[in-house]
Amino acid sequence: MTKKIISIGGVLALLGICIIFLSKKNYTQTNPLMIEATKAETILSLSPNPFMIKTNDGSIDININTGENSINFSQVSLRYDPRYISEINIVQGPFMQKASVLNTFINQESGTITYILALPKSIKPIKGIGTIAVLKFKTSFIKNESTIVSFTKDTLITNDTSVQTLLKKAVGTTIIKQ
């Protein structure tokens, strides 16, 4: 009986060593299906910044600089104060002009905007500097008052091969009534 227990213990120990050896070997092997993350270099910005407005009609450019990133998808999500900004309209800009607008969602009650563009699969991802869209609106505040328009964490820039957002930084703007 004792020899049987020692034999079973030896087999289990040998099996444990084999499992440890094989698992360590797998950790050091590279996975040929793994995609490396692309370095995020894309910067979004609203301009002018600051925006000194004299009338009640305003227009802000949503600009992009992709750096070395090639992109084919953008989801711009903005937040604003609906007490001061209303009658919002978004017009597609010249950058990604061949893209389809997948969604334009403006919630005047919560003060949020989501604008989604995607290039068709037949068009190669693009890089460069330009204007994705123009935000047109009306303001309702008095002289020397100000409000902020900012990007939210839901903003996303990507392409077909990226496993993460390519957005490095997003800079909002302050609107000041003169």
Q: Averaged over 53-76, what is the pLDDT?
A: 96
Is 117 within 8 Å of 96 (Cβ atoms)?
yes
User: What tokens were used for 111?
Assistant: 């003060």
* Letter string b/e over residues 48-61, b meaning 16 or more CB atoms within 10 A of that residue's CB: eeebebeeeebebb
Secondary structure element (H or E) that encloses residue 2, with its range: helix 2-28
Q: Quickly tell me which residue has 């894309």 as its tokens.
A: 42
List the single range of 34-38, 48-52, 67-71, 82-86 with lowest mean pLDDT.
34-38
Reply yes or no on whether the pLDDT at 140 is more than 60. Answer: yes
DSSP-assigned letter for residue 67 = T
Q: Is the pTM of this model over 0.85?
A: no
Mean pLDDT, the chain, rounded, equals: 85
Reply yes or no on whether the pLDDT at 165 is more than 70. Answer: yes
CATH of region 42-177, choose from 3.30.390.30, 2.60.40.680, 3.50.40.10, 2.60.120.10: 2.60.40.680
**Whether residue 120 has a cis bond before it, omega within 30° of 0:** no
Cα(97)–Cα(95) distance, integer angstroms: 5
* Model pLDDT for residues 93-130, shown as the tens digit of each residue: 999 999 999 999 999 999 999 999 999 999 999 999 99
Q: What amino acid occupies position 21?
A: F
